[in-house]
Amino acid sequence: MVLHRQWDDPTVRPADLHRLIWIFASVTAALVIAASLIQAGMVLPRLRRILRGMEEVRGGGYPRLLAEGNDELTDTVRGFNETVDTLRSRDEKLRAWAGHREQDLMKLSHELDQERERLDTVLSAIGDGVIVLDSDNKVLMANRRVSEIFGVPPEQLQGCDLSVLIEQVRHRLLRPDLVEQKVRELKRAPSLVDEVTLELDDPGHQAIRLYSVPVRGADGTIVGRIATSLDLGREREIERMKTEFLSTISHELRTPLTSIKGSLGLVLGGAAGTFSADARELLDIARTNTDRLVRVINQILDMMLLERGQALIRAVPMPLQSCVERALRAVAAPAQAAAVEVRVEIPANLPNVLGDARRVEQVIVNLLSNAIKFSPRGREVILAARAEGDKARVSIQDAGCGMSPEFLEHLFSKFEHAEPSLTRESQGMGLGLAICRHIVEAHGGRIWAESKENAGSTFHFTLPLSISPLLEPEPAAPVAGDTSGAPRLVLVIDNDEDVTRILSYIFETQGHQVICAHSGGEAIALARRHRPDLITLDLNLPDLDGFEVLRVLRAAEESRHIPVICISVRPDVRLALALGADFCMEKPLDIDRLRELSGRALATVR
């Protein structure tokens, strides 16, 4: 107002007016500056407190600031405090949740450690190797046996590539190229289920079989592979021990069975006089079951010899028809009892086959017996044969209930039976078809079956056709017991006294004189002293080996031409014949066969 009045007063000079304006402006500026300084003195400390609070929050603290006054800065402080309270509450909840999760994680980690320890214990206890691979064929887990196989320390197995492990034993492998090829195939086809056999060139010829299968995730994708190793050396040793056990048991059973079967045959033949019909029926039952036990033992021994490749297979050109005729005679009785007819369809111009007549007959008898056994009464079994290229195919068709496709896959394995509903009597040992397979394969042929459930089965096997002329048949055997009428001296050599008594009785009932020996040394001395007309020789003697006795007999002039029939549990026919034996027979004895062979042998003695 003062400045306004001065501005309207005409008496005031312009210079005074300008001075007044400058003073007013200066005072105003001073007042503004003074007010600003006062305001700054009041605001800056509060701002500094806010900044310090923010620094504490950044460091993990939760400061609360004093809210003074009622200005905008005070509202800012209140907002800061509310934010800090919210952060504190959220952090407390988060800590509580984290604490629970930490406990859960610690519990889970402890459980995982326990599971890992249990898994390690189980894997370490497994005698065979177990190895788990990821999708890149790198080791995730392996037990100590894997470390021993590949020669890699356990701590270095983790993450090791499968190819690197194979490389560790490459110098010990018999066929490293085949093993590496298998590994490449597994890498190319992750879904492949296969096995790799590591045959090691070690003194013990150790062999390790790795069986590998893919591991799939929940979505079906392949996430890795698990492989187990099997020590074939240990498996082979177990198989050898099992074979030796069965062989020993079978051999030990054959000797007493010889006495039992021989005694039954003699009694039923009238050696002990007449007896009632009931007694004869009981003796027939005993002889039937003795024959059954003999067949079981023979099957076990046949199976062992065929598996080892030690069975004697003498393949020669022969007509198939003759084997079929003998097989038909062998199954005639069971076919008649079952009211089943066997029809034969073999062309007259069928070429000769190359085979061992006895073994081929064994196959045909086994297949015919099965066909008769499983065919309903009143039906027929068809036996047919035809030439196919350089092979002859033999087919035996039954009218039975047939077999499922699943069973056909392992039909020719050991101890397999057709149907669980069949009785044990009709099932048998389950070795017959396995023996047939080995015999046919030993001849260079193959055997298989075709079947549908409720539609019967057809068994086929092939034999090579012969391109050589038929061998001349053996001369007809003399009639059993025809020994030119004169009594002869027979030397019976056997380490079992019961067997010597049975054999003595058989020859004595034919009018011959018998002397017995129970050891090799005694046998050689008796042969030199008495010069018998016939010798039966057991190959299992307590002092000298039966083959050695045969060598001595054939080396001496006085016994060189004496006919010898080797009688043993499982004679080595090839060796016995090579050493000079005239005939070979297996225990238990077939009395009629013994009489036939002894008649043929004595017919040559002059």
CATH code for the domain of 522: 3.40.50.2300
Task: Write down the pLDDT at residue 460.
Answer: 94
Supply the mean pLDDT for the chain.
78
pLDDT score for 475 = 46
pLDDT of residue 171: 76
Both 243 and 225 in one domain: the answer is no
Give yes or no: residues 500 and 460 share one domain. no
Of residues 272 and 509, which shows the higher confidence score? 509
Beta-strand runs (E) in 361-421: 380-388, 391-397
Q: Do 565 and 458 reside in the same domain of the chain?
A: no
* Residue 528 within any structural domain of the chain: yes
Q: How much is the pLDDT for 422?
A: 47
Identify the residue whose tokens are 């025809």: 482
Tens of pLDDT, residues 30-47: 666 655 555 555 566 767
How do residues 245-264 score in pLDDT, each as one tens digit? 766 776 677 778 777 877 88
Using DSSP's 3-state secondary structure scheme, residue 494 falls into coil
Quote the CA–CA distance of 381 and 241 in Å, as a whole number: 41
**Percentages helix, strand, coil for the chain, rounded to the nearest 5?**
50, 15, 30
Answer for the pair 354, 443: CB distance below 8 angstroms, yes or no: yes
Q: Tell whether 259 and 222 lie within a shared domain.
A: no
pLDDT for 51 equals 74
Q: Which two tokens stand for residue 194?
A: 């296969």
Tokens of 449: 């079956």
DSSP secondary structure, 134-189, as one string:
ETTSBEEEE-HHHHHHHT--HHHHTT-BHHHHHHHTGGGBS-HHHHHHHHHHHHH-
* CA–CA gap between residue 233 and residue 464 (Å, rounded): 35
* Shared-domain flag, residues 415 and 499: no
Q: Kindly tell me if the per-residue pLDDT of 445 is higher than 70.
A: yes
Question: In the chain, pLDDT over 90 holds for what percent of residues?
Answer: 16
Yes or no: say if 363 and 436 are a contact pair by the CB < 8 Å rule: yes
Residue 519 near residue 544, CB atoms below 8 Å = yes
Residues facing 564 on adjacent strands: 535
DSSP string, 47-60: HHHHHHHHHHHHTT
Identify the sign of the CA torsion 544, 549, 550, 552.
positive
81 is a domain residue: no
Range 532-550 burial, b when 16+ CB lie within 10 A, else e: bbbbbbbbbbeebebbebb
> What pLDDT does residue 14 have?
64
Q: Which pLDDT band holds residue 310 (cuts at 50, 70, 90)?
A: low
| CA 122 distance to own-chain centroid | 22
Q: What is the mean pLDDT of residues 165-176?
A: 76
Structure tokens at 309: 């490749």
**Residue 198 belongs to what domain range?**
124-235
For residues 356 and 315, the answer to whether their CB atoms sit within 8 Å is yes
Give the sign of the dihedral formed by CA 156, CA 161, CA 166, CA 171.
negative
What is the per-residue pLDDT across 124-157, written as a single tens digit (0 to 9) for each?
677 677 888 888 888 887 887 777 777 778 777 7
CATH number for the domain spanning 378: value is 3.30.565.10
Kindly state the tokens that stand for 425.
């009597």
Residue 322 shares a structural domain with residue 460:
yes
Structure-token pair, residue 133: 């691979």
According to the per-residue pLDDT averaged within each range, which of 8-22, 379-393, 576-590 is highest?
Answer: 379-393
- Written as one letter, the residue type at 298 is N
Q: Cβ of 5: how many Cβ atoms within 10 Å?
A: 9
- To the nearest whole percent, how much of the chain has pLDDT over 70? 80
pLDDT of residue 484: 44
The residue out of 217, 235, 253 marking a domain boundary is 235
Looking at the domain assignment, is residue 418 inside a domain? yes
Residue at 27: amino acid letter: V
Under 8 Å between Cβ of 449 and 470 = no
User: How distant, in Å, are the alpha carbons of 51, 60, 63, 78, 416 from that of 83?
Assistant: 14, 13, 10, 9, 82
φ, ψ of residue 462 to 5 degrees: the values are: -120, 150
178 φ/ψ angles, rounded to the nearest 5 degrees: -65, -40
Query: How would residue 477 be classed by pLDDT, with cut points 50, 70 and 90?
Result: very low
Of 412, 408, 399, residue with least CA distance to 363: 412
Element containing residue 566 per DSSP (H, E): strand 564-568
Q: What is the CATH number of the domain that holds 166?
A: 3.30.450.20
Going by their DSSP bridges, the two strands 489-493 and 513-517 should be labelled as parallel
Among 32-36, 309-313, 514-518, the range of highest mean pLDDT: 514-518
405 and 320 assigned to the same domain: yes
Cross-strand bridge partners of residue 219:
none
Residues 296, 300, 301: CA angle, nearest 5 degrees: 115
The structure tokens 């046949």 sit at 302
Q: What is the pLDDT of residue 470?
A: 47
Could you give the maximum distance between any two Cα atoms of the chain, in Å?
195
Range with the largest mean pLDDT of 162-166, 214-218, 511-515: 511-515
Residue 265 in domain? yes
Residue 448 structure tokens: 């298989």
Residues 518 and 561 in one domain: yes
Looking at residue 17, its pLDDT comes to: 60
Residue 448 counted as domain residue? yes
Examine residue 119 and state whether it is found in any structural domain, yes or no: no
Residues 419 and 358 in one domain: yes
Whether 327 and 368 have beta carbons less than 8 Å apart is answered as: yes
**How many domains does the chain contain in total?**
5
Please tell me the total number of residues recorded for the chain in this structure.
606
- Rounded to a whole number of angstroms, the CA Rg of the chain reads 50
Please tell me whether residues 511 and 530 are part of one structural domain. Answer: yes
Kind plus residue range of the DSSP H or E element containing 447 = strand 447-451
Show which of 428, 448, 464 is a domain's final residue: 464
The number of beta carbons lying within 10 Å of the beta carbon of residue 164 is 15
235, 250, 266 — which closes off a domain? 235
Instruction: Name the pLDDT band for 423 (thresholds 50, 70, 90).
Output: very low
Task: For residue 455, give the 3-state DSSP assignment.
Answer: coil
Find the DSSP H helices in 443-590. Answer: 497-508, 520-530, 546-555, 573-578
Smallest CA-to-CA distance from 173 within 192, 197, 204, 152 is with 197
In a domain, 115, yes or no: no
Tell me, yes or no, whether 226 and 349 share the same domain: no
Strands 341-345 and 380-388: parallel
User: What tens digit of pLDDT does each residue of 330-377 get?
Assistant: 899 889 988 999 999 999 899 999 998 888 998 999 999 989 988 888
Residues 134 and 274 in one domain: no
Asked if residues 516 and 504 have their Cβ atoms less than 8 Å apart, the reply is: yes
Residue 350 maps to a domain: yes
